[in-house]
Amino acid sequence: MSYTESHAAAVLERCDELAAFSEEEGRLTRRFGTPALRQAGEAVRSWMESAGLSVGRDAIGNVIGRFGDRSRRTLLIGSHLDTVRDAGRYDGMLGVLVAIACMERLRAEARSLPYAVEVIAFADEEGVRFGTGYLGSSVVAGRFDPSALELRDSAGVTLADAVRAFGGDPDRLTDARRDPGDLIGYYEVHIEQGPVLEAGDAPLGVVGAISGQSRARVTFTGQAGHAGTVPMALRRDALSAAAHFVRAVEEVAHGQEGAVATVGELEVEPGASNVIPGRVALSLDVRHTADLVRRSLTERLHERAGAIAGTRGVALGWEVVQEVEAVRCSQELTELVSAAVAAAGHPVLRLASGAGHDAAMLSIIAPVAMLFVRCAGGISHNPAESVTVEDVAAAIEASSRFLKLLR
């Protein structure tokens, strides 16, 4: 096994170790502010320290390891430690651990880099607990929305209390922003979460753009009633209205080139087999690389929801949860990443990202670049997520070369 492959094997072992830190028995779920996330952060802290980084946490609990004196401008490298429910073990974690592996590999050479490096393990990118993604990177980017502190999770805990319980400080989230003048860029390694690299027989991909996202919470409120006595024609069934809308989401997205739209969460009240559903709340996630297209698609879906609610005599609630613009990666950094991939002996395959990433948030304060790693079948947000040691070695090799090319 080569020197780089030994680093790659260690990265995969660490992904396995992190996968043990879960809120749920038998599957990986690690949301913001939970004891499982704290444990994962402490394991990452120890690996950062053994790589020679000086480590701390910021006001929301991101774990940050620095190499290089404070007078130098800084390259940020990182990804997230939180997961979706029943997650795979590489989405987010791989990027943090490849960054640490590069610092371990460069150790002596790192002193000759003309910039400082900070490896960041973000505390929340998926937004599973409070519904809004990028909580960790939005603090670093200076985009944290203080009104989010009143958001409550499914147990009624506010984000402010969750931050405090996690050891953070909700009163300092807006001033934890990094000064763009200190930064030379942000670099993120991430599994592709799609089938393009596998189809192109390429271990690595260089990301040119990241899709924008519209997230909304949609509610249909009808009238609960007795399943046995209310005639079909007299019902105001909230779940039938929601089901009609879910079909419309699929139909409208299918009709728009390059668009994706998903209803991932659906809550039915009161939720009994012999009661006509009175209220349904669902999540809507709409994406496209062109913001104009994404916004008009979301608007059309809002109109369709209104029409469906109207014909069925139910009330519609539509709450915008988050809007994130599409992002173009830095041409200059992306050229350097491409050169590093080629120098490492791999084909340079360029692609866009349908998935959102912390790089989208960091692009507000720094030029960004991303490197994708092939994942089996393009499967992600699923425990079947997997990568090979050879492809992780390729990512470490290319990333180490990128760090040395950057000036």
Furthest-apart CA atoms within the chain: distance in Å: 79
| Interacting partner of 104 out of Mn ion, ligand HGY, none (Cβ under 5 to 8 A depending on kind) | none
| Interacting partner of 65 out of ligand HGY, Mn ion, none (Cβ under 5 to 8 A depending on kind) | none
CB of 212 to ligand HGY, least distance (A): 11
Output helix, strand, coil percentages for the chain, rounded to the nearest 5: 40, 25, 35
| Interacting partner of 92 out of ligand HGY, Mn ion, none (Cβ under 5 to 8 A depending on kind) | Mn ion
Q: Which CB atom, from 103 or from 189, has the smaller least distance to ligand HGY?
A: 189
CB of 112 to ligand HGY, least distance (A): 35
Q: Which CB atom, from 278 or from 356, has the smaller least distance to ligand HGY?
A: 356
CB of 356 to ligand HGY, least distance (A): 4
Q: Does 65 bind Mn ion (CB under 5 A)?
A: no
Q: Which CB atom, from 61 or from 222, has the smaller least distance to Mn ion?
A: 61
Residue with tokens 């990301």: 207
Residue from 91, 124, 188, 397 touching Mn ion (CB under 5 A): that is 91
Q: Does 192 bind ligand HGY (CB under 6 A)?
A: no
φ/ψ (deg, to 5) at 318: -135, 110
Both tokens of 48, joined, read 């950062």
φ/ψ (deg, to 5) at 219: -125, 140
- How far apart are alpha carbons 148 and 231 in whole angstroms? 43
Residue from 249, 355, 370, 394 touching ligand HGY (CB under 6 A): that is 355
Which residues have CB under 8 Å from 116's CB, separation 6+?
66, 67, 68, 69, 70, 72, 73, 74, 75
CB of 5 to ligand HGY, least distance (A): 28
Both tokens of 218, joined, read 């949609």
Q: Does 125 bind ligand HGY (CB under 6 A)?
A: yes
Contact segment (CB under 6 A) with ligand HGY among 28-36, 104-112, 125-133, 333-341 equals: 125-133
| # chain residues binding ligand HGY, by CB under 6 A | 5
Residue from 104, 118, 126, 188 touching ligand HGY (CB under 6 A): that is 126
Contact segment (CB under 5 A) with Mn ion among 84-92, 153-161, 164-172, 302-310 equals: 84-92
Closest C-alpha to 386, from 398, 373, 397, 399 = 373
Q: Which CB atom, from 14 or from 357, has the smaller least distance to ligand HGY?
A: 357
Beta strands in 349-397 (DSSP E): 349-353, 368-373
Both tokens of 242, joined, read 């929601």
Element (H, E) at 45: helix 35-50
| Interacting partner of 33 out of Mn ion, ligand HGY, none (Cβ under 5 to 8 A depending on kind) | none
Q: Does 324 bind ligand HGY (CB under 6 A)?
A: no
φ/ψ (deg, to 5) at 18: -65, -30
- DSSP label at residue 201: T
Closest C-alpha to 102, from 74, 137, 78 = 78
Q: Does 92 bind Mn ion (CB under 5 A)?
A: yes
CB of 133 to ligand HGY, least distance (A): 5
Closest C-alpha to 120, from 188, 46, 52, 179 = 188
Q: Does 95 bind ligand HGY (CB under 6 A)?
A: no
- How far apart are alpha carbons 345 and 340 in whole angstroms? 9
Q: Does 356 bind ligand HGY (CB under 6 A)?
A: yes
| Interacting partner of 88 out of ligand HGY, Mn ion, none (Cβ under 5 to 8 A depending on kind) | none
Beta-carbon count within 10 A of 39 CB: 15
Residues that bind ligand HGY (CB under 6 A): 125-126, 133, 355-356
Site residues (vs Mn ion, CB under 5 A): 91-92
